[in-house]
């Protein structure tokens, strides 16, 4: 596996660190509403996974969720923090599960948004290869036409539609292909669910077309004591579509003061 690297990030606020990990094929800018809304309770740090946003695109032939998790841990080292609240949306949730497997001493709590614990089925794995081929041959615009409408709920704002499109087109086809193959090969996190013994908040858009609510709720039940909150008026990118509901749920979940270590 390649060496871990420090990621580019945007930081806002003060206090304990809450790190945000974006979905596919996005970047740190998807978390603008969370940085704005939660900076009063945490140091909010939104990272760009390698190859995305402002992070260097090292080793795209070798992407994996273990590597992405190591990159986030290396970035916590840069920030000189031992522990963080870790929040990931969709592909970012896959990174969060890998953080739990590889760096659990760095995870103070987990906030999982519109993600899933299961590995890909054979059909989904074939779909990842098709996506990698598609972007290599036809570029990100075509992937956006295909996937973009499935990422939002029934009545998305024009701003969310535009921001989703901007992130698709800002991502290089090579990186989107590398992510797809990493998602194809990711570990099944379902056996980890009962082992998670830090506080967990699972948020899920009620209109998520990619990852149905019922499956997410069933997975959350496997995590001892996890809190599950469905987010109305939101699809797969719930934190962008209904940021107030997401921010309120996160603020309600995170303790105002941390227990002394």
Q: Which residues of this protein are in contact with ligand MLT, per CB under 6 A?
A: 23-24, 90-91, 183, 210, 236
Question: In the bound complex, what is the minimum distance in angstroms from residue 236's beta carbon to ligand MLT?
Answer: 6
Minimum CB separation of residue 217 from ligand MLT in Å reads 18
Q: Which residue, 41 or 216, is less far from ligand MLT as judged by CB?
A: 216
Our CB check for ligand MLT shows the closer of 85 and 114 to be 114
- Select 177 or 254, whichever has its Cβ closest to ligand MLT: 177
Q: How near is the Cβ of 147 to ligand MLT at its closest, in Å?
A: 7
Shortest Cβ 243–ligand MLT spacing (Å): 17
DSSP bridge pairs for 186:
none
Residue 21 CB, shortest distance to ligand MLT, in Å, is: 10
C-beta separation of 131 from 221 below 8 A? no
* Alpha carbon distance 205, 213 (integer Å): 7
- Whichever of 151 and 249 has its CB closer to ligand MLT, that residue is 151
- In angstroms, rounded to a whole number, what is the distance separating the alpha carbons of residues 133 and 236? 24
Give the gyration radius of the chain's Cα atoms: 17
Spatial separation of the C-alpha atoms in residues 141 and 151, rounded to whole Å: 15
Nearest approach, Cβ of 25 to ligand MLT (angstroms)?
A: 8
CA–CA dist 216, 203 (Å, integer): 9
Provide the Cα torsion 73, 77, 78, 79; round to 10°. 100
Could you tell me the two tokens for 244?
A: 């107030």
CA atoms within 13 A on the CB side of 26: 29
Closer residue to ligand MLT, CB minimum distance, 42 or 52: 52
Half-sphere exposure of 146 (CA within 13 A, CB side): 12
- Cβ nearer to ligand MLT, comparing 21 with 229: 21
Kindly tell me which of 50 and 236 has the beta carbon lying closer to ligand MLT. 236
The answer to whether 131 and 142 have CB atoms below 8 angstroms apart is no
Phi and psi at residue 228, to the nearest 5°: -115, 130
Least gap, CB of 143 to ligand MLT (angstroms)? 11
């Amino acid at each position: 596996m390649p060496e871990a690297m420090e990621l580019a990030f945007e930081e806002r606020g003060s206090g304990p660190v809450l790190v945000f990990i974006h979905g596919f094929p996005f970047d740190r800018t998807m978390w603008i509403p969370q940085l704005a809304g939660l900076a009063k309770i945490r140091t909010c740090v939104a990272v760009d996974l390698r190859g995305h946003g402002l992070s260097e695109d090292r080793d795209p032939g070798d992407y994996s969720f273990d590597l992405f998790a190591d990159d986030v841990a290396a970035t916590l080292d840069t920030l000189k923090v031992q522990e963080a609240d870790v929040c990931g949306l969709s592909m970012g949730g896959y990174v969060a599960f890998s953080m739990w497997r590889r760096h659990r001493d760095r995870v103070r709590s987990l906030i999982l948004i519109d993600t899933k614990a299961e590995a890909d089925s054979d059909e989904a794995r074939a779909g990842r290869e098709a996506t990698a081929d598609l972007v290599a041959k036809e570029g990100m615009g075509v992937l956006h036409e295909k996937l973009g409408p499935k990422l939002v709920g029934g009545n998305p704002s024009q701003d969310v539609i535009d921001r989703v499109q901007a992130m698709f087109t800002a991502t290089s086809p090579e990186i989107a292909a590398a992510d797809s193959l990493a998602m194809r090969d990711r570990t099944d996190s379902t056996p980890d669910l009962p082992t998670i013994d830090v506080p967990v908040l699972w948020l899920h858009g009620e209109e998520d077309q990619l990852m149905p609510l019922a499956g997410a709720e069933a997975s959350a039940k496997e995590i001892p004591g996890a809190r599950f909150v469905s987010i109305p008026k939101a699809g797969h990118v719930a934190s962008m579509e209904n940021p107030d509901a997401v921010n309120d749920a996160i603020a309600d979940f995170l303790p105002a003061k941390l227990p002394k270590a």
